Amino acid sequence: MTILQLDAEALYADLLMRLRPLVRRDEGESAALVGIWSGGAWLAERLQRDLGLPGQHGVISSALHRDDFGSRGLAATTDATALPFAIDGRHILLIDDVLYTGRTTRAVINELFDFGRPASVTLAVLVDRGGRELPIEPAVSAARVVLPAGQKLSLVRDDEGRFTLDVESA
């Protein structure tokens, strides 16, 4: 049995390199980074710094727009959406750690449009694990892997801000 081993720091470096051309638009305005809570928010925070972008990144939650909200309820967490810039007319670079079914991405796009109408939304993910239930595809992914449906892939951040990826049985 092969155990999946992914170097999250190497994948982050690849994602950073692939995003450099996307953060600057022809008009000279930087795209706004919005990270999906929680792993995507960690990535967006570090990308904002490493790309040398002005201002702050945004954080977006899927909690209020999930299609399973009735069964999950509103978790008692601090994962509220925080967008410190206007959405209308902005080019949004939506960042997530792991893309699986596409349901979280659909939910955060609905949340994003509650705040305005962006000029564009581009999805970038650290890992695309396939298994889509919705027609959502990232413009950029640092890795594509296949995992059994019973496994979960999670981004972990240590106290120094370094990333690792954990695979666990669901």
Total-model pTM: 0.90
Please give the pLDDT value at position 2.
Answer: 46
Furthest-apart CA pair in the chain: how many Å? 51
CA–CA separation, 71 vs 75, rounded Å? 11
Please give the pLDDT value at position 29.
Answer: 73
Residue 125 sits at φ, ψ, to 5 deg, of: -130, 155
Flag residues of the chain having pLDDT under 50: 1-2, 76
Please give the pLDDT value at position 75.
Answer: 56
Among residues 105, 117, 93, which one has the least CA distance to residue 44? 93
Helix (H, G, I), strand (E, B) or coil at 9: helix
CA–CA separation, 50 vs 29, rounded Å? 17
Please give the pLDDT value at position 26.
Answer: 52
Please give the pLDDT value at position 76.
Answer: 46
Domains in the chain (CATH in brackets) are 30-68+78-149 (3.40.50.2020)
CA–CA separation, 139 vs 95, rounded Å? 11
Q: How many CA atoms lie within 13 A of 162 on its CB side?
A: 5
* Structure token digits, residue 136: 């959502």
